[in-house]
Chain A
């Protein structure tokens, strides 16, 4: 696999277009990929399980620290393109920080009292891509707040990279949620 994120131009409109195209390319590459790399899949699965655990355990700061500074998180509404369609959100690291901040803001009424969630991670497949790792996995989220329960299924695509000590970090994350086109209660809690 060679999607080559490094080709993104440094500034301006070209950079934005490049970032957006990179997301689309990752989605396409994962869907078209052949059998995954078994060893890489095992280590990626350990990391993605930890991500689920941090989020379910409301260790949102820990989760945020697992992102690279140039991280992008995209939740498209359908089979869209980030330069042409609305998304539920397309966040950079700063806006992810705001999402995390709201999780503990007592005046974020839709998130207070907070929800309990369980993320059930399906089989994780991983492929090397230059220095990065691309992964695909199915995710089932059960969300419970007050007396309301919501179940949500998604396919998640992660572009992981290794930092200096060699730990995996999240560089890109795409969450594909078919139910978004059907209409769902507010998803202000979704990370």
Chain B
């Protein structure tokens, strides 16, 4: 297979410059250069190498339960249809017609027998195969043309669907690595391991680089200060939110998990369990009473109503916060969208899921705005050209414990998770990554035959 031929529909191409030397300068063990957050040319390369060149979260299988159901997602700048085929498989189809590139589906979700392009009426099966092409005899050798929809490589881990354009991605489990155990734990706390992701996300945007979400993901210490307002609300309600603890003594820990992933485990700081941190909520009293009346107001049940106090972050775009899946979507070098999808537990009592609806609203209302404010203020500060470097050395040789596997466990002020994701960022960004578009039918022989004919005939 001569997949270096850029005209082939299954071409494998590695785009852009070798940045190894430049990035060795910009990302250091203890410092990171401001350009990572401000340089549009680096952002363009991120859209290829970080969002596409490695695995990223695309969606959850519960969003597409029935055959034909689809949801519209994005991976970097690519619109993707996450689809359940007739055969029950999960596919990630590029949401672009193979004729001229028209966006096929404008709906965020739906159920289709096939996807029909509104422009010239071409239609495609759920697995991306071209199904109907009106006036097909206007093509000389149609069978040679690669008109099946482009696809991403997608793979599920227990319902969580990850996608990549990489020609030879790591096996998904190798990419998850030690993060797998934490993801398992997150899934297993739901009765029967059953999660259902609700379709409508809370979508918030901030005017700052998407990596702010990563600098913040395992930053336990900001909670004491940036979320002071939220903590004061907790005091008023006489619940002890974890965030309000003295940061110098709180026993919560952060861990790097390889490939940029990390986790913050807040449970050591809350022996009474997650529900003990929950403030009064709309409908809480009624729903707790209803559970109690059936003898089901147990700690196990109520702890399910809130998050498990374990913030797992899978680089580059999925953060588990409370019962929400926070998906980070870069829109521009200083413009980011976060979509917060709520997860419910179908195996739990109805009251628990009704509580879940109100629980995460609390932090989204009184906590998240202050996070986003910090991100925008940081972005503002990074405009100063002369202040080139941001220090990321906190914790190193000052509390961090480096395991034999190279993974680091630190206290809540450790910046090891920042150093770790930037290491992965640098690895991915340094060299062009071979990527390819998958299609249902790539038959090398046909295209091998087509090449000389095309050249000779001057097909435009």
B203 touches A184 (CB 8 A): yes
Q: How many Å lie between the Cα of A80 and that of B201 in the bound state?
A: 11
Residues of B within 8 A of A78 (CB): 200
A13 touches B350 (CB 8 A): yes
B232 touches A105 (CB 8 A): yes
A102 touches B205 (CB 8 A): no
A114 to chain B, nearest CB (A): 13
Does B110 reach chain A (CB closer than 8 Å)? no
Residues of B within 8 A of A80 (CB): 200
Which B residues between 32 and 87 are near A, CB-CB below 8 angstroms?
none
A98 touches B366 (CB 8 A): yes
Which A residues between 13 and 41 are near B, CB-CB below 8 angstroms?
13, 15-16, 19
A77 touches B282 (CB 8 A): no
A92 touches B282 (CB 8 A): yes
Residues of A within 8 A of B366 (CB): 98, 102, 108, 188
Residues of A within 8 A of B340 (CB): 86
Instruction: Decide yes or no: A108 and B361 within 8 Å by CB, A184-B203, A184-B205 being known contacts.
Output: no
Which B residues between 206 and 240 are near A, CB-CB below 8 angstroms?
206-207, 226, 228-229, 232-233, 236
Residues of A within 8 A of B373 (CB): 109-110, 186
Residues of A within 8 A of B203 (CB): 180-184
Residues of B within 8 A of A182 (CB): 203
Among B93-101, B162-170, B307-315, B351-359, which stretch is in contact with chain A? B351-359
A82 to chain B, nearest CB (A): 7
Does A162 reach chain B (CB closer than 8 Å)? no
B357 touches A77 (CB 8 A): no
| Nearest-neighbor residue (CB-CB) of B108 within chain A | A181
Residues of B within 8 A of A154 (CB): none
Which A residues between 172 and 191 are near B, CB-CB below 8 angstroms?
180-189
| Nearest-neighbor residue (CB-CB) of A97 within chain B | B236
- Residue of B200, B228, B342 contacting most chain A CB atoms (<10 Å): B200
Q: How many Å lie between the Cα of A129 and that of B171 in the bound state?
A: 62
B228 touches A107 (CB 8 A): yes
Does B283 reach chain A (CB closer than 8 Å)? yes
Q: How many Å lie between the Cα of A101 and that of B229 in the bound state?
A: 10
A110 touches B370 (CB 8 A): yes
Does B374 reach chain A (CB closer than 8 Å)? yes
Q: How many Å lie between the Cα of A1 and that of B88 in the bound state?
A: 47
| Nearest-neighbor residue (CB-CB) of B207 within chain A | A185
Residues of B within 8 A of A82 (CB): 357
Q: How many Å lie between the Cα of A94 and that of B202 in the bound state?
A: 22
Q: How many Å lie between the Cα of A15 and that of B64 in the bound state?
A: 32
Which A residues between 83 and 107 are near B, CB-CB below 8 angstroms?
83-92, 94-95, 98-99, 101-102, 105, 107
Does A11 reach chain B (CB closer than 8 Å)? yes
A95 touches B282 (CB 8 A): yes
Q: How many Å lie between the Cα of A131 and that of B110 in the bound state?
A: 41
Residues of A within 8 A of B293 (CB): 12
Which residue of B233, B283, B357, B374 contacts A87 across the interface (Cβ within 8 Å)? Answer: B357
B228 touches A83 (CB 8 A): no
| Nearest-neighbor residue (CB-CB) of A190 within chain B | B365
Instruction: Decide yes or no: A15 and B286 within 8 Å by CB, A86-B360, A109-B226 being known contacts.
Output: yes
B206 to chain A, nearest CB (A): 7
Does B204 reach chain A (CB closer than 8 Å)? yes
Does B438 reach chain A (CB closer than 8 Å)? no
B341 to chain A, nearest CB (A): 8
Q: How many Å lie between the Cα of A94 and that of B108 in the bound state?
A: 35
Does B390 reach chain A (CB closer than 8 Å)? no
Does A5 reach chain B (CB closer than 8 Å)? no
Residues of A within 8 A of B201 (CB): 77, 86
B200 touches A108 (CB 8 A): no
Does A111 reach chain B (CB closer than 8 Å)? yes
Residues of A within 8 A of B232 (CB): 105, 107
Q: How many Å lie between the Cα of A132 and that of B222 in the bound state?
A: 46
Residues of B within 8 A of A95 (CB): 281-282, 362, 365
Instruction: Decide yes or no: A188 and B200 within 8 Å by CB, A86-B360, A109-B226 being known contacts.
Output: no
Instruction: Decide yes or no: A90 and B282 within 8 Å by CB, A13-B350, A78-B200, A184-B204 being known contacts.
Output: yes
Q: How many Å lie between the Cα of A102 and that of B361 in the bound state?
A: 15
A16 touches B287 (CB 8 A): yes
Q: How many Å lie between the Cα of A111 and that of B369 in the bound state?
A: 8
Q: How many Å lie between the Cα of A108 and that of B289 in the bound state?
A: 33
| Nearest-neighbor residue (CB-CB) of A91 within chain B | B282
- Residue of B198, B204, B236, B342 contacting most chain A CB atoms (<10 Å): B204
A22 to chain B, nearest CB (A): 13
Q: How many Å lie between the Cα of A78 and that of B265 in the bound state?
A: 34
Residues of A within 8 A of B204 (CB): 183-187
| Nearest-neighbor residue (CB-CB) of A77 within chain B | B200
Which residue of A16, A84, A105, A181 contacts B283 across the interface (Cβ within 8 Å)? Answer: A16
Residues of A within 8 A of B282 (CB): 72, 90-92, 94-95
Q: How many Å lie between the Cα of A11 and that of B288 in the bound state?
A: 11
**Scoring B residues 169 to 203 as 1 if CB is less than 8 Å from chain A, else 0, what string do you get?**
00000000000000000000000000000111111
A167 to chain B, nearest CB (A): 25
Given contacts A108-B229, A186-B368, 9 further A-B contacts (CB under 8 A): A77-B202, A86-B200, A90-B358, A91-B282, A110-B372, A111-B369, A184-B204, A186-B373, A188-B369
6 A-B contacts (beta carbon < 8 Å): A85-B357, A90-B357, A91-B282, A95-B281, A95-B365, A183-B205
Smallest CB-CB A-B distances: 9 pairs: A188-B369, A110-B369, A186-B369, A107-B228, A183-B203, A110-B373, A108-B229, A92-B282, A13-B290
- Residues of B that sit less than 8 Å from A by CB: 108, 198-207, 226, 228-229, 232-233, 236, 280-283, 286-287, 289-290, 293, 337, 339-340, 342, 350-351, 354, 357-358, 360-362, 364-366, 368-370, 372-374
